[in-house]
A and B are shown apart, each in its own frame.
Chain A
């Protein structure tokens, strides 16, 4: 038809997205969070290089020694270096995030997507099951699951994953319910696009962002909860250097050797803080009300 083809505004999509994220990271709190998360991830990789001692080596002449130049964070009742144990503990924490948070994200996401998209009895069944799981206090439910599976690090992570699954299912389902009514989904139906393809190509990509934000926010909680299970002796088994397990060691000596429990506690605190700050920043970034202004 018309000879003059209309050109869109000269703006590239990928770049503007990156620019938006860059602007987001200019906030000091977001930067602090990102710095903590990056440091944490670096630590998991470099623990073997940075740790001054092996986390397992016992030094029975130097048990319960307070922080000093030789042992910056002190030693525990077997003379193990707390700094090294905290450093290696970051690996367990990362594993917990990947396994537990990942498990909840994938399983909860899949359930929420299918429930929201297909609706009907399938939706009712999945969501009532989620309600049942949500009715239990988190740690209690995790305890029950670990008790059933048997105490081990992996089982404790799976337990935490199951505990968090319903939240992801609920959140994604809500998103899917909104997205499946949009005109572009209607257009896809009118074009004869099959239901699975509509679900995966149209609905999922447009409802995924909030659960990514949630996964970031939950990463910190997952670390706390798995540490909690280890603290109770249901997660990481001795002598593995898990923050929760080290914390549990320190409990007995807390009045005489405060450093054993304090440093893993601080590590947990920092990681939770870091992920929460990053998660908050991401949430603000993807908030539709803020996007409207843009």
Chain B
């Protein structure tokens, strides 16, 4: 599928697959695979915010890490500006790293506790030789801190002296230090208090607008994702279930799994009488996924045919795709 027919997408993922070997103890005999990501394809246009949603174990974090080449994929292509990043050598990879940066989920784990803020933010500048002198580096660090709403006077402080929300801002500033075009934000707000979440999401929105960033926003909370994203990709057990524009997808889901996810979003209205679809049981094991449609074991609309073939992602309306054989239910 292609997102924007006119321009080349900034990032395109084609048939991405990542299997992790399951090993028994210290023996190097592989006893199976965790199919973390299976045949995932999507594209992100320049300047777009693409939301990637799914519950724990759906493979969304793995997709994010594979895109940044923090883990090597088992198969498929990752095209950044039309060029596959998989075969990149050390030099080209370093150049790529300047253009694509992560933001992590846990602000308490993503900052080196032994480095103060200036060191944390100056490291990318040193590594990529982005500043000529120490003074210039310091000036740039101060600028980065102001950009994320922190006071430059605190650059000599250590991460433990900041709150969770402030640490997440430092993490964002670090990602911005190399002036990247693509940011992969992996659950950037789910570890934060709800009141802080809004601040950080708004900061990301603002920065995206101001710096023209392209954002891959990974989260399990559909409400947050709808708020920030232009389009949404819904994943389940390593596969893409549905793709569509954020608002349309949340208003009228086409896939039973999206419908179930949406019904789990809390609505601040005590009189709301909407039906809640509670998924039964746990997400199946990705070592031994169900045959056919991976969601059929928990799907309320599942029929016998669902077990036969893996449903392909197909366009059901302009710009809307789903991987479900039943067109009669949603």
A residues near B, CB below 8 A? 1-2, 4-9, 11-13, 182-184, 186-194, 197, 201-202, 205-206
Please name 22 pairs of A and B residues whose Cβ atoms are closer than 8 Å in the assembled complex, sorted by A: A1-B146, A4-B149, A6-B150, A6-B166, A7-B151, A8-B163, A8-B166, A9-B161, A13-B158, A183-B106, A183-B109, A184-B110, A186-B65, A187-B171, A189-B70, A190-B68, A191-B127, A191-B178, A192-B94, A201-B115, A205-B114, A206-B112
Task: Name the one of B101, B127, B147 contacting A193, with C-beta atoms under 8 angstroms.
Answer: B127
- Which of B109, B124, B149, B163 sits near A5, CB closer than 8 Å? B149
In the bound complex, CA of A182 to CA of B106 (Å): 10
Q: Which of B174, B203, B207 gathers most chain A CB within 10 Å? A: B174
A4 — which chain B residues lie within 8 A by C-beta? 149
Q: Which residue of B lies closest to A10 (CB)?
A: B161
A87: min CB distance to chain B, Å: 40
Contact present for A5 and B206 (CB under 8 Å): no
Assuming the contacts A1-B147, A7-B151, A7-B154, asked whether A187 and B206 have C-beta atoms less than 8 A apart, the reply is no
Q: How far is the CB of A17 from chain B (nearest CB, A)?
A: 10
CB within 8 Å of A: which B62-91 residues? 65, 68, 70
In the complex, are the beta carbons of A8 and B162 less than 8 A apart? yes
- The CA of A194 and the CA of B151, in the complex, are separated in Å by 30
Are B149 and A187 touching (Cβ within 8 A)? no
CB distance from A122 to the nearest CB of B (A): 16
Contact (Cβ within 8 A) B112 A184: yes
Q: How far is the CA of A253 from the CA of B154 in the complex (A)?
A: 68
**B161 near A8: Cβ-Cβ < 8 Å:** yes
* Contact status B70-A190, CB under 8 Å: yes
Q: Which of A2, A11, A186, A197 contacts B127 (CB 8 A)?
A: A197
B residues less than 8 Å from A187 (CB atoms): 102, 104, 110, 171, 174
B128 touches A192 (CB 8 A): yes
Give the shortest distance, in Å, between B70 (CB) and chain A (any CB). Answer: 6
For the complex formed, measure the closest distance between the CB of B83 and the CB atoms of chain A, giving whole angstroms: 17
Say whether B50 faces chain A, with CB atoms less than 8 Å apart. Answer: no
The reply to whether the CB of B113 lies closer than 8 angstroms to some CB of chain A is yes
Number of interface residues of B (CB under 8 A): 51
State the Cβ distance, B196 to closest chain A Cβ, in Å: 11
A205 to B146 CA separation, bound complex (whole angstroms): 28
**Would A186 and B70 count as touching, CB distance under 8 A?**
yes
**Complex CA–CA separation, A116 to B218 (angstroms):** 31
Most chain A C-beta atoms within 10 Å of own C-beta, residue among B100, B123, B166: B123
Residue on B nearest A182 in the bound complex, by CB? B109
Q: Known contacts being A190-B102, A192-B128, is A206 close to B114, with CB within 8 Å?
A: yes
Contact call A1/B149, Cβ cutoff below 8 A: yes
A120–chain B nearest beta-carbon distance, Å? 11
- Complex contact A5–B70 (CB within 8 A): no
| Residue pair B206, A1 in contact (C-beta under 8 Å) | yes
For the complex, give the distance between the alpha carbons of A190 and B93 in Å: 10
Judge whether B104 and A186 touch: CB under 8 Å: yes
> By CB atoms of chain B within 10 A, which of A2, A12, A197 has the most?
A2
Docked-complex contact A6 and B149, CB < 8 angstroms = yes
Known: A8-B163, A202-B115. 4 other contacts (CB 8 A): A1-B147, A1-B149, A9-B163, A11-B161
CA distance A189 to B71 in the complex (A): 11
Q: Whose C-beta in chain B lies nearest to the C-beta of A186?
A: B70
> When the two chains form their complex, are residues A193 and B123 in contact, meaning their CB atoms are under 8 A apart?
yes
- Closest residue of chain A to B117 (Cβ to Cβ) is A8
CB–CB A183/B110 < 8 A: yes
In the complex, A183→B161 CA distance in Å? 19
Q: In the complex, what residues of B have CB within 8 A of residue A190's CB? A: 68, 70, 97, 100-102
Asked if B123 and A191 make an inter-chain contact with CB atoms under 8 angstroms apart, the answer reads yes
Distance from B180 Cβ to chain A, minimum over Cβ atoms (Å): 10
Inter-subunit contact B109/A184 (CB<8 Å): yes
Chain A's closest residue to B154 (CB) is A8
CB pair A191 B124 closer than 8 Å = yes
With A and B bound together, what is the CA distance between A186 and B112 in angstroms?
11
- Of chain B, the residue at the smallest CB distance from A203 is B112
Q: Which residues of chain B have C-beta atoms less than 8 A from A186's C-beta?
A: 65, 70, 102, 104, 110
Q: Which residues of B contact A191 (CB under 8 A)?
A: 97, 101, 123-124, 127, 174, 177-178
Residues of B within 8 A of A205 (CB): 112, 114
Bound together, the chains give a CA A7 to CA B207 distance in angstroms of 20
Q: How far is the CA of A206 from the CA of B128 in the complex (A)?
A: 24
B148 nearest in chain A by CB position = A1
Interface residues of B in 95-132 (CB under 8 A from A): 97-98, 100-102, 104-106, 109-116, 123-124, 127-128
Question: Which B-chain residue is minimally distant from A189 (CB atoms)?
Answer: B70
Q: Which residues of B contact A1 (CB under 8 A)?
A: 146-149, 203, 206-207, 210
8 Å CB contacts to A: which residues of B185-231?
A: 203, 206-207, 210
User: Which residues of B sit under 8 angstroms from A7, Cβ to Cβ?
Assistant: 151, 154
Given contact pairs A6-B169, A187-B174, A194 touches B112 in the complex (Cβ within 8 A): no
Min CB distance, B84 to chain A, in Å? 19
Q: Once bound together, how far apart are the Cα atoms of A205 and B65, in whole Å? A: 25
* A8 with B157: CB separation less than 8 A: yes
**Contact (Cβ within 8 A) B146 A194:** no
The answer to whether B178 and A13 have CB atoms under 8 Å apart is no
The docked-state distance in angstroms from the alpha carbon of A62 to that of B158 is 64
